[in-house]
Structures are given as C-alpha cells and as structure tokens.
Structure 1
C-alpha cells in the first residue's frame, strides 16, 4: 500500500514526543465514547422534530428538512476546516473551545425567532459539534496497534448510540415540552461536558509543525497518494447518503397514513436502531482479525438487504423495525471498518485522514437528506426506498472495483 513520502507531507514532530502520550485506560475509552455520543447528538436532535419545526415556521415537509441539511452541511465544514487542526494544535484545548461554542449555537437555535436564524444556528451547531472527529483519531493514536480496531469501535459505539438515541430523546422531549426545549437541554449538556473533560481528558500534543495553509494543502496530497482513502470516503459517502434518506423522511412517513404517529414514535425508532450500534465493537474486532475490506463488504450487503425489507415490508411496523436494525448494523459496520483502515495509512496524519474520510461521509449525508426530502415529496415511500437502495448499490460497486487496480 502506497504511503505519503517525506517530500509530500510536512514532517511531524520527533518520535520522542510520542513516548509521553498518556495511557489509554478503559475509563478513558468510555469517557471518550460518552463524549462522542452526547456531542454528535446535537446534529440529530432536529430530525424527529422537523414536522413540528415546519409547523412553527409554516414550512412544507421538504422546506423543514433543510434544517437537518443545514446541520449536516455545518458538520461537513467543521470536519474540513477545523478537524485538521487536531494534527497542529493541542487537541484538548481545541475541543473545549468547540464545546463552548456548540453550547452557544444550541441556545441560539432554541430561541430563534425565524427559520432563517434557525438555519444559521444549525450550521454553527454542525461546525462546532465536530469534536468526535478529534476524539476518534486521539483514541487511535493512544491505542496499541493490535487493538486499534477494537478501541476505535468502542469509542465509535458511543458516537453511534448518540446518533440513534438522540432521535428517541428529542422525539419524546418535542412531544411533551416542545422542540425548542430540546435545544436548551442540549446547550446545558455541552456546558457540563466542558467541565468534565477539562478535568479528565489528557492533553494530546500535535505532530504537525507547518502552517495552516500547508496543513490544508497536505489534504490534497493524502487524497492523491492514498487510493484506499479515496475508496473508503466514497463508500462512506454513498452509505451515509442512503442512511440519511431513511432517517430524514421517517418522521413524515410515520405521521401520515397508515400510521399517523407523533414525533415520539419516530424517536422510538432511534432506540430500536441503537441495537445496530452494538455491532461497532464487533466490527472493529473483526476488522483487526480478518481485515477491514471483509467487514466493509458485509456491511454494504446488509444495508442493501435492509432497503429490500423496508421497501416490501414498510407498510407494517414489524417491517420497519427489522429494516431499521439491519440498516444500522450494516452502515455502522462498514463505517467502523473504513475508519480502522484509514487510521493505519499515515499514523502522523490521522486527524487529516479522518477529515478526508468524514468530509466525504457527511457530504453524502447532506446530499441524502436533500434527495430524501425530494423523493418523499414527489414519490412517497416507494421513491425513498428505491433511492436508498440505489445509493447502497453505488457503495457496493465502489467497494468492489474502485482503486483496486495495479
């Protein structure tokens, strides 16, 4: 596998500095996992609340879905322009500043008098909630090489549970307290995290000694010289687009016939999907043992099977339940395996590798939210399922054939 040369990437700090990294204890791994879950939840609180937000600001379903799109666009921008700084600045201080900013953005969303201001706040929430994408490379850096996939999987399991349970919590809060209350609660959680991490999280010194411009330029070098990175980013983009197609439209589907459920039920499906997050540590362990390509392929096939179930059994609650579980297991298994793969490519550039991969991943998610809203508005549930299956099929083709030449 081709690696970046010393001429193409600026030199890291001397290896001796890495000898003083703190020990990665089980307690620290779980702290990282919980932090990832609570912070990433900021991005997904709004999905079960889209119908309620639309009623507040007199927006159509597709118009209200732009709030979810704005948050994901912000998260993509945060990963592209902020996360690379994890290789250049001390990570703990950077994360604490971002969490304080996220608390302010959540408060702005809670009190937004117009949909336009809510959209601005949503972008800021996304940018400043990219903290997990600094924590995951930090865990990979501190982990022993033989256990890297397993430890990344454990940290990511917290992130994935946060993604899924955020919908359950926000659906319940939205039904009983209103959608604005959910953002107020989220702001308070960010302030509490700042206090906890300032006390417990170790410092993690940077490895990059160049300027911000050279840091950003090195992203292009990594993309050009690492075909496995390009393949992982494309597979992740297509899979997360398919994932977002489903979750962006689920609340609209459940509110209409034949179900006519409220936002609390839409959020409950997030609780069901959390079972998929339990596959994350197993996927990381399997990637350590059999190689990440094996687990990526298995995950893509499971996601395809999930859309078959959702398409043919989506008129029944049981069909939706099975489809949600299989979709989450498939997407998250492929995601963990992709990250295990990319973190092995250029160890001194793990934040930047994660930037490239996750920027592609959430670009796909943003596109999936937009396309999902359009598919729902114009073609209903069958259109949503066909779109999701098509995007998953594209992920399969890329995973099998792209970047595997000479």
Structure 2
C-alpha cells in the first residue's frame, strides 16, 4: 500500500468519526437552538452513537461481500448527507434523524481499516493499520478542538456543514483514488451475518474484545468526564479552552502510530502489556487535576499513547487471525469498543456528581487494571489454549 492510500484512508476515518463526536463541545448551543431540554441534550450525541452501534452490526459485514472501494465511497456520501441534514435542521427531530444517519454510516471507518488490512502485505499490515487508525483518534480528539473553535465564530451548525463538505469531497476522491477490491462478492449477506455471530464464540476474538471493552471504558472515563472538573473550581475554563486538551491527547495517540511496526516485528504482545501498564500509571497523574494542569496534560498524553498502541495491536491480531473476514472481525471488535466507551461515559458523569474527580480517576484506573488482567489471561492462553476458553465461560 502506498503512502497516499494510507493517508487517504486515515482522512476517511478522521472525518467520518469526527461527525459522531462533533456535538460534544457544543451540546448546550445545539440544545438551545433546537429547543431540546438541557437534561436531554446528551441524546444529541447518543443519537449518532446509537446509529454507529447499529452500523457496526448491519453495515460493516458488507465489506466481506462487496467492493470495499465503492462501499467506502457510498458510505461517505451518506455520512455527508446526514451531517448536512443536521447542519440545516430547523427542528430537533430532523437533527436527530441526521445524526442517526451520519452515525450509522460512520462505520465506514471500520470498512477502511479492514480494507487497509486486506490490501497490505503481511509484513506491512501493522504499519498500515497504525497510520490508518491514527486518523480515527485524530477525528475523535480533533473534533473537540475544531468544533469548539468554529462554534464560537459561526455557530454550531458551521462545524457540521464543514464536515459534510469534507465527507462529500472524500467520497469522490475515494472512488477515484483507491484501488479496486478484487476480493469482492465472496459471500451472501445472511451468511456473513452468521459468520459475524460465530466470531463471538472464538477465544482469540473474545480475548481481544474483552481487552478493548475495558481499554475504552478507561478512555471514555477520561474524555467524557474531563470537561466537568475543568469547567468548575478552581480552573473555570471555557469550552474552547477545554477543547484544547484534545491536542495533548492527539499528540499521545499519534506518537503510538509506530506501534503497528512493532507488531509487524513480532513485538505486539509485549508492547500491549507495557502500554496497559502505562495506561494504569497515567491515572495517577490524571487524578491530580484538582491542583496541577501540567500533570493532567502529561497523563492525557500517556493515556492516549497507551490506548492507541493497544488498539492497533488488537486489530493486527484479529485481521491476521481472520484474513478472510477482516470487515466482520473489525466490526465485531468495535462493538466491545462502543459498549466500553458507553460504560465509561455514563459511570463517570454519575460518579462525578456524587463523589468528585478523584473517584472518577480511581474508576478509570480500575478499568485499566481490568484491561491489563484480560491481557495477562490472553498471554497465558498462548501457552495454554484452554485458559482463555475457561475464562470467557465464567
């Protein structure tokens, strides 16, 4: 895979996933403009995420039966349509519909990752996955920075309109520039869906999924709850200032882009173990938010480095284990991602009101420790394959 193809697929991932998270920094503005009650504004983000979860199950498996180049272009076009509907919606119900549509077809991210894995030589798969997956993190964290800035200048609708234009441009460019998928048309849709369900009985898939569940629960604990203490005493930061912390996370995540090369060299398991230990340690620094922003920034950089390194390693393992079902494997794996992120987000907001940020940091550390434990079980299973089977039956 050439450098241009890697960067194009990374851009596809970044723009698509940014549409899912673009509402987080501007929820108050969106809710007021659309007439949504303050205590219900969170559904503006949840709508896109619910669409995304449905797309993981119903749309991503299409990549195992259709030309993924055309599928990527079609999904980007529908993402653009959903974002445009949201940007121009005169009423809340239409904005919700646009967000669900954009969220559902934002699973083009997983199709792009699976496509990158499928067209990569085995010795370059990890490297290419590292670059393409970095676009996902750039989209998630960059959306916080860009959306907040655009909203202050031209209102919340401008960010969705800008993303719609970018998605439409990438739709055309992908159709022209990406290589054809010569493996297209392998299986009928019903069989592909059954195959996806069958993955949930495979120990290697469940093991990596369990790591991802706790990994992204820890990630969600930070990024869904961080604005709460930063907006309060003693910092009282604005939305735009809070959004700038996404730059620290982005720096850490992009620093882990080389983790794919480490996986290609056979060091993936060791790198994941070290990264999960770093994830656990990052919460010590993040927990000091009440008196030190410097330690918080250091913790954010380390946390996002660790999450990205483990995430790339997990996808390298799964696409290598299921080379004929890369789309289904990535889509199913991301179900664990979605559920973990949702758990971290909901638990953090509830805990912060009741017990403060220190308790939230302990929760994030507990999720990190659980991910490290799941990794240790997987490593034991490499020597004794019965271990993981017994563990996943408990």
Over residues 108-144 of structure 1, what are the superposed CA-to-partner deviations in whole Å (9 max), with x where a residue is unaligned?
Answer: 2223345454344332221111112111111111111
Candidates 102, 122, 142, aligned match of 1:145: 122
Candidates 58, 61, 84, aligned match of 1:107: 84
1:284 match: 260
2:337 match: 361
Over residues 85-120 of structure 1, what are the superposed CA-to-partner deviations in whole Å (9 max), with x where a residue is unaligned?
Answer: 001011122122211111121122223345454344
Q: Secondary structure at the match of 1:343?
A: helix
1:186 match: 163
Candidates 133, 136, 143, aligned match of 1:166: 143
Q: Which 10-residue stretch deviates more, 256-265 or 245-254?
A: 245-254
Over residues 218-268 of structure 1, what are the superposed CA-to-partner deviations in whole Å (9 max), with x where a residue is unaligned?
Answer: 1122222x3111111111121112212221222333222222222211221
TM-score by length of 1: 0.88
- In the aligned structure 1, how far is the partner of 2:135 from the partner of 2:231? 29
Contact 1:168–1:268 (8 Å) recurs in 2: yes
Contact 2:64–2:187 (8 Å) recurs in 1: no
1:300/1:113 CA distance change after superposition, 3 Å: farther
- In the aligned structure 1, how far is the partner of 2:277 from the partner of 2:51? 30
1:126/1:231 CA distance change after superposition, 3 Å: same
1:303 match: 279
Contact 2:248–2:301 (8 Å) recurs in 1: yes
Q: CA RMSD in A?
A: 2.0
1:345/1:305 CA distance change after superposition, 3 Å: same
1:385 match: 361
Contact 2:65–2:186 (8 Å) recurs in 1: yes
1:81 match: 58
1:197 match: 174
Matched, 1:325 2:301: yes
1:237/1:123 CA distance change after superposition, 3 Å: farther
Matches within 5 A, 1:338-349: 338-349=314-325
Which ranges in structure 2 are unaligned for 5 or more consecutive residues? 387-394
Over residues 359-390 of structure 1, what are the superposed CA-to-partner deviations in whole Å (9 max), with x where a residue is unaligned?
Answer: 21122112322222222333332232222222
Matches within 5 A, 1:15-94: 24-56=1-33, 57=35, 59-60=37-38, 63-94=40-71
1:5 match: none
Q: Secondary structure at the match of 2:337?
A: helix
1:9 match: none
Which ranges in structure 1 are unaligned for 5 or more consecutive residues? 1-23
Number of corresponding residues:
381
1:230 match: 206
- In the aligned structure 1, how far is the partner of 2:98 from the partner of 2:354? 29
1:293/1:208 CA distance change after superposition, 3 Å: farther
1:237/1:42 CA distance change after superposition, 3 Å: same
Q: Which 10-residue stretch deviates more, 269-278 or 382-391?
A: 382-391
- In the aligned structure 2, how far is the partner of 1:30 from the partner of 1:168? 21
Q: Which 10-residue stretch deviates more, 261-270 or 288-297?
A: 288-297
Matched, 1:128 2:105: yes
Q: Secondary structure at the match of 2:259?
A: helix
Over residues 265-290 of structure 1, what are the superposed CA-to-partner deviations in whole Å (9 max), with x where a residue is unaligned?
Answer: 12211112111122333211112224
Q: Secondary structure at the match of 1:312?
A: coil
- In the aligned structure 2, how far is the partner of 1:149 from the partner of 1:317? 34
TM-score by length of 2: 0.90
Contact 2:126–2:261 (8 Å) recurs in 1: yes
Over residues 203-232 of structure 1, what are the superposed CA-to-partner deviations in whole Å (9 max), with x where a residue is unaligned?
Answer: 2134553321111001122222x3111111
- In the aligned structure 2, how far is the partner of 1:153 from the partner of 1:210? 28
- In the aligned structure 1, how far is the partner of 2:11 from the partner of 2:118? 18
Shift of 1:150: 1.1
1:216 match: 193
1:314/1:125 CA distance change after superposition, 3 Å: farther
Q: Which 10-residue stretch deviates more, 199-208 or 153-162?
A: 199-208
- In the aligned structure 1, how far is the partner of 2:42 from the partner of 2:344? 11
